[in-house]
Structure 1
Amino acid sequence: MTTLYQALMLILDVVWFVMIAHILLSWLLGFGVLNPRQPIVAQLWQGLSRLLEPIYGPIRAILPNTGGLDLAPLVVFIIVIILQRALQNNAGFFLG
């Protein structure tokens, strides 16, 4: 069961880091620090977006339309943190 606990925590950590990278890249693109027409920047943005869209899509379908403000990353970020804390608080179940 320790392996299951570690695997779940690793998956949540990877999702957390990918989301942080996506959020930071969106800010850098939004403020004009990075040029989205550069091939490396475009590939990185498209890759991160493709990774996270299956997670963000169902959340966006539930959330109300807020215009230009996308709240899906915030909601998913909160869910990931809650899942991490729930796993940590119940680690005794996994670690025996």
Structure 2
Amino acid sequence: MEFLLLLHNVIVPWAFQIYSWILIIYILMSWVPNVRESQVGVILGKIAEPYLAIFRRFIPPIGGMLDISPIVAFFVLQFVQRGVLYLIELLARAIG
């Protein structure tokens, strides 16, 4: 039960928060020329791009320039976080 509390209150929120910051930094890096090709940019790209690619397949850029898929990706990430936290709560209640 203590582990579920730790999971619910610390581990899951921190994991999603860290991933959200990785996405934000990676997206901001796209505004600066040649930054994505740096070592940090490549590492962040390997972490962020697989998730963002899911949304880019279904959401084309507006006017060929404005990519709104990261916005949708953030909403989905928040929805998934809430779902995971809810499942942990259900499990904690079932265990007692």
Whether the TM-score (by the shorter chain) exceeds 0.5 is: yes
- Per-residue deviation at 1:69? 1.6
CA deviations on 1:6-63 (whole Å, 9 max, x unpaired) are 5433332221110121123223x0xxxxx627xx972222221221111111211111
Q: TM-score, normalised by structure 1?
A: 0.65
Does the residue aligned with 2:30 lie in a helix, a strand or coil?
A: helix
CA distance in 1, matches of 2:65, 2:39: 23
Q: What percent identity do the matched residue pairs reach?
A: 23
Is 1:70 the counterpart of 2:74? The answer is no
- The residue aligned with 2:18 is 14
TM-score, scaled relative to structure 2: 0.65
4+ aligned runs moved over 6 Å, structure 1: none
> Could you list the runs of 5+ residues in structure 2 that have no partner in the other structure?
none
1:74 deviates by: 1.1
Matched residue, 2:28: 24
Structure 1 unaligned blocks of 5 or more: 30-34
Number of corresponding residues: 88
CA distance in 1 between partners of 2:91 and 2:13 (Å): 12
8 Å Cα contact 1:4/1:94 also seen in 2: no
